[in-house]
Structure 1
Amino acid sequence: MKLSTLTLVASFAAGAAMAGPVAPADVAFNDEGAVEASLSGMAGDAANGAEIMKSKKKGNCISCHEVTALNDAPFHGEVGPMLDGAGDRWTEAQLRGILANSKMTFEGTVMPAYYKVDGFTRPGNAYTGKAAEGALDPLLNAQQIEDVVAFLMTLKD
């Protein structure tokens, strides 16, 4: 009996490890725009999430949002809501949905969809001469989304 249980647990763990991240086109949003399941299948790293939020080459969240916990980074924006207390205002699933594609929760928002790869209006080569060709990568990968969610969940009132 113990061997059977151990084999079952090992098989489940191996299957979960091989599952991999959810592709952007396969994200399951509920009616309110929340995403219940982890996009990467792994827990987020709050410290890495804070770095992503401050990085101009990654999330750059503070260019639009003020976050007191990130006061070591300059130039916090005022376009989006202050994120202090975000972990009390929204659930983990709601935050994941907002990050993946904020338009699913807030119609007409200017916040970018960080985990979307299609359906964009491209200005074309006539505008800049440098329009992207082919498929686009998401702004953040699945684990980076989970990391930012983990950080935002630490922001309690």
Structure 2
Amino acid sequence: MAAALTLLAIIPGQVWAQALRPYEIVGDAIPQSLTGARGDPTRGRAIVVDRQKGLCLLCHTGPFPEQRFQGNLAPDLAGVGTRWSDGQLRLKIVDSRRLNPATIMPPYYTLDGLARVGRNWQDKPVLSAEQVEDVVAFLTTLTETP
């Protein structure tokens, strides 16, 4: 089943539609890149450790010795590249609720079924398709376990 949404971006004097890129969920994964290309792992790491953008370290811990106060509510990111495929990681980032409806992990690339969204984040995904691919590319490099 392919999923696609249309967003309306409103800027004073301008209104335009921007479509979320369609994707297909196959089993427990989104096997195809949202952009048709592999992301950049360096940019992906920057998103993962950014406490304003990805907020990953709020819940996850991982091999980021320079980052203090990492979370412990979710699985350690160390070794995540050996535990899940890129397609499985992609679905977890796009919308982990598809795998676990009770998850506390936010959906990063969907607008479907969201409630109580702050004004600054309404009608737009947390991450762009390119940023999702960057995070997936980075996470697949994490192959060593603690």
8 Å contact kept, 1:53–1:60: yes
Q: Could you tell me which amino acid in structure 1 is paired with residue 20 of structure 2?
A: A
1:150 maps onto 2:133 in alignment? no
1:28 maps onto 2:16 in alignment? no
For 1:37 and 1:137, locate their aligned partners in 2 and report how far apart those are by CA, in whole Å: 22
For 1:95 and 1:156, locate their aligned partners in 2 and report how far apart those are by CA, in whole Å: 13
For 1:106 and 1:118, locate their aligned partners in 2 and report how far apart those are by CA, in whole Å: 15
Once the two structures are TM-superposed, the CA of residue 55 in structure 1 deviates from its matched residue by 0.8
The structure in which a higher percent of residues are strand is: 2
What is the number of residues matched between the two proteins? 127
CA gap 1:152/1:134 in 2 versus in 1, 3 angstroms: closer
Once the two structures are TM-superposed, the CA of residue 132 in structure 1 deviates from its matched residue by 3.1
TM-score by length of 1: 0.73
Give 1:11's aligned residue: none
Once the two structures are TM-superposed, the CA of residue 133 in structure 1 deviates from its matched residue by 9.0
Give 1:58's aligned residue: 53
- Map 1:90-129; keep pairs closer than 5 Å: 90-122=84-116
Return structure 1 stretches of 4+ with deviation > 4 angstroms.
Answer: none
The structure in which a higher percent of residues are helix is: 1
The percent of aligned pairs where both chains have the same amino acid is 37
Task: List runs of 5+ in structure 1 lacking aligned partners.
Answer: 1-21, 124-130
Q: How big is the alpha-carbon RMSD for the aligned residues of Structure 1 and Structure 2?
A: 2.2
Once the two structures are TM-superposed, the CA of residue 137 in structure 1 deviates from its matched residue by 0.6
Q: Deviations over 1:62-93 (max 9, x none)?
A: 1110011x221221100111011001000000
Once the two structures are TM-superposed, the CA of residue 107 in structure 1 deviates from its matched residue by 2.5
Task: List runs of 5+ in structure 2 lacking aligned partners.
Answer: 1-18
Once the two structures are TM-superposed, the CA of residue 134 in structure 1 deviates from its matched residue by 10
For 2:57 and 2:122, locate their aligned partners in 1 and report how far apart those are by CA, in whole Å: 27
8 Å contact kept, 1:115–1:140: yes
